[in-house]
């Protein structure tokens, strides 16, 4: 399995010493297991946290400096991240590999008070991992750290398609942004728009890097096979650029990929 060096920014936040939590349970790139190669999807609006910055296009977690070098910190921050109503910042930005989950959440939010129009951001996890920044499967990490699921109706498969990026997501990881109303007007929006956009993004990036002599064909193939270690879910599931200023009225941590209706649990929640 191919691995990459840690980002120099990331290394001290995870602590690579033999006695650290990282040595017991690695959050380094390509440590997580099944085989797939899919884009990661996120829906957001003017009230969401971790919006793309107007100047740079980068996304930052609300707590983007927190070290994650102990068992206790990892467990508590993951537990907090799951609780939609919590106002405590976490170092995670959530995405989903499931177009179905993404569509359900975007449709739910767009009609809610204080939410409105949804923008879909798609990232290429290969670029992130190559730069030495982890992508973690929330379901795997919940099981490892004994993090409880606070919502009875959320199934394991939803947790397993929920991925978190640590601390930040850079503009060069982003395949693009789409207005949800426009995107969802296409019946097969995932297969006909998102997947082709990812292919074009990778082809363009490959040409640019080869022209610069940064990566040769063999290394590109190595990167393609290495991303199989991500565990984003298996084969492809069935299934306009926009920026805005950050607002202080965001609904909780806004940090996951699930919806729970009021009729089921007594309180509506959605975390992405």
CA gyration radius, the chain: 18
**Neighbour tally for 53: CB within 10 Å:** 15
Give φ, ψ of 175 to 5 degrees. Answer: -75, -40
203 confidence band (pLDDT: 50, 70, 90): very high
* Mean pLDDT, the chain, whole residue set: 76
pLDDT in tens, 223-234: 454 444 455 544
pLDDT in tens, 71-120: 999 999 999 998 877 888 999 999 999 999 999 999 999 988 888 899 99
**Neighbour tally for 211: CB within 10 Å:** 8
């Amino acid at each position: 399995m191919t691995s990459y060096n840690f980002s120099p920014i990331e290394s001290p936040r995870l602590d690579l010493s033999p006695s650290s939590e990282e040595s017991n349970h690695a959050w380094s790139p390509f440590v997580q297991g099944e085989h797939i190669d899919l884009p990661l999807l996120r829906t957001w609006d003017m009230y969401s946290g971790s919006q793309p910055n107007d100047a740079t296009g980068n996304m930052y977690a609300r707590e983007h400096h927190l070290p994650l070098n102990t068992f206790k910190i990892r467990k508590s921050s993951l537990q907090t991240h799951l609780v939609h109503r919590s106002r405590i910042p976490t170092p995670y930005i959530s995405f989903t590999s499931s177009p179905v989950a993404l569509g359900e959440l975007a449709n739910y939010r767009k009609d809610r008070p204080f939410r409105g129009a949804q923008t879909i951001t798609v990232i290429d996890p290969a670029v992130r991992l190559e730069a030495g920044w982890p992508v973690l499967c929330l379901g795997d990490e919940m099981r490892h750290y004994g993090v409880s699921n606070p919502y009875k109706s959320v199934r394991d498969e939803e947790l397993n398609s929920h991925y978190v990026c640590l601390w930040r997501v850079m503009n060069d990881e982003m395949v693009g942004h789409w207005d949800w109303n426009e995107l969802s007007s296409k019946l097969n929006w995932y297969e006909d728009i998102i997947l082709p956009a990812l292919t074009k993004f990778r082809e363009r990036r490959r040409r640019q890097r080869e022209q610069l002599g940064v990566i040769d064909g063999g290394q590109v193939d190595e990167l393609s096979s290495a991303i199989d270690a991500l565990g984003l879910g298996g084969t492809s599931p069935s299934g306009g650029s926009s920026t805005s200023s950050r607002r202080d009225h965001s609904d909780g941590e806004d940090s996951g990929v699930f919806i729970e209706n009021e009729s089921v649990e007594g309180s509506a929640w959605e975390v992405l």
